[in-house]
């Protein structure tokens, strides 16, 4: 795997490369990728009789996660799953994984630089008729209708992708039911950015609105801690109330963005998020991040494409 940048199918940069914050590390695989492997503990968590394609997809995503952890300077080990399928990252690490046919990726960052990360990828295909109404708020539908059309960029599916990424970023902190209508999404096409405002999320136990989450330790050990939640639905078959998430994003450089003054915390005390999106190789990729109350010195930015048989 190269550490200088990610590579798309045509030989250029992969979609993740332009989305990474300077303090984050990531890895992605487009297409078949190298032969993956799993730790025995990871393999045991997969259901008996899982089909080969699903095993390969999962294992390649775990391979990307290990490479991303190396890029962050953390020692990788078995990356197990929590009760809802979320990766259990080493102490002091915040991360997120996405995997689907043809694309697997992982992003990690030090908990002192962010309290939440969420990445998701979806095919750049419009949603089936009727799905948008079930996942979008009325004001979101109105804003989508006003956005300029762009080849290869179905705004409705991108909206779904944002809400899935937000779920992954928020679930480890919220631990409460989140729905598609828990998030209000705003796109900023002039800079390929997105912001999200949490709506209708009940209070998180033990955390009051406006109270930032405690600072986590920098990555030092492999002791697991709960983090992101994998995407759980297909945008062409989404059901009402299905998984998606609230987020609370601010435009880059505004208060609440990483590197700016402390965020104004949103509904249920959840942190604001901000992010960007990319459309390439028939895919939509979204990466969302949240500001933390304190920041660590940023490690080197790393985006990578796995290119070895054992990562």
Does the pTM surpass 0.85? The reply is no
How many Å apart are CA 247 and CA 119, to the nearest integer?
A: 13
The residue ranking higher by pLDDT, 88 or 230, is 88
How many Å apart are CA 292 and CA 256, to the nearest integer?
A: 8
Strand bridging mode 25-30 / 302-305: parallel
Instruction: Give the mean model confidence (pLDDT) for residues 272-297.
Output: 82
Identify the pLDDT of residue 50. Answer: 83
Identify the pLDDT of residue 302. Answer: 53
**Does 273 have pLDDT greater than 80?**
yes
pLDDT band, residue 261 (cuts 50/70/90): very low
pLDDT tens, residue by residue, 112-140:
899 899 999 999 999 999 999 999 999 99
- CB atoms < 10 A from the CB of 45, how many? 14
> Cα 266–147–159 angle (5° rounding)?
45
The residue ranking higher by pLDDT, 38 or 2, is 38
Identify the pLDDT of residue 310. Answer: 36
Identify the pLDDT of residue 179. Answer: 82
3-class DSSP state for residue 181? helix
**Does 171 have pLDDT greater than 80?**
yes
Instruction: Give the mean model confidence (pLDDT) for residues 223-238.
Output: 36
**Does 183 have pLDDT greater than 80?**
yes
Identify the pLDDT of residue 93. Answer: 95
Dmax (CA) of the chain: 50
Per-residue b or e along 272-310, where b marks 16 or more CB atoms closer than 10 Å to that residue's CB: bbbbbbbbbbebbbbbbbbbbeeebebbeebbbbbeeee
Identify the pLDDT of residue 253. Answer: 31
How many Å apart are CA 47 and CA 164, to the nearest integer?
A: 23
């Amino acid at each position: 795997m190269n550490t200088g940048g990610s590579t798309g199918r045509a030989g250029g940069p992969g979609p993740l490369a332009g989305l990474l914050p300077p303090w984050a590390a990531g890895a992605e695989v487009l297409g078949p990728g190298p032969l993956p492997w799993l730790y025995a503990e990871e393999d045991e968590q997969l259901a008996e009789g899982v089909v080969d394609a699903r095993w390969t997809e999962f294992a390649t995503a775990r391979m990307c996660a290990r490479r991303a952890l190396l890029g962050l300077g953390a020692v990788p080990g078995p990356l197990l799953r929590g009760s809802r399928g979320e990766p259990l990252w080493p102490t002091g690490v915040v991360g997120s994984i996405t995997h689907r046919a043809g694309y697997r990726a992982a992003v990690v960052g030090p908990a002192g630089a962010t309290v939440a990360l969420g990445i998701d990828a979806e095919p750049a295909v419009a949603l089936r008729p009727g799905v948008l109404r079930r996942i979008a708020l009325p004001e979101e539908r109105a804003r989508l209708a006003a956005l300029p059309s762009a080849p290869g960029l179905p705004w409705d599916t991108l909206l779904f992708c944002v809400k899935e990424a937000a779920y992954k970023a928020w679930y480890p902190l919220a631990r409460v039911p989140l729905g598609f209508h828990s998030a209000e999404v705003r796109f900023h096409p002039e800079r390929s950015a997105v912001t999200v405002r949490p709506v209708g999320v009940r209070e998180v136990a033990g955390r009051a609105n406006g109270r930032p989450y405690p600072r986590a330790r920098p990555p030092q050990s492999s002791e697991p801690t709960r983090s992101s939640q994998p995407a759980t639905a297909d945008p062409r078959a989404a059901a009402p109330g299905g998984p998606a998430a609230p987020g609370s994003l601010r435009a880059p450089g505004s208060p609440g963005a990483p590197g700016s003054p402390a965020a104004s915390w949103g509904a249920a005390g959840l942190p604001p998020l901000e992010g960007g999106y990319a459309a390439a190789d028939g895919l939509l990729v979204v990466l969302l991040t949240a500001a933390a109350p304190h920041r660590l010195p940023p490690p080197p930015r790393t985006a990578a494409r796995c290119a070895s048989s054992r990562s």
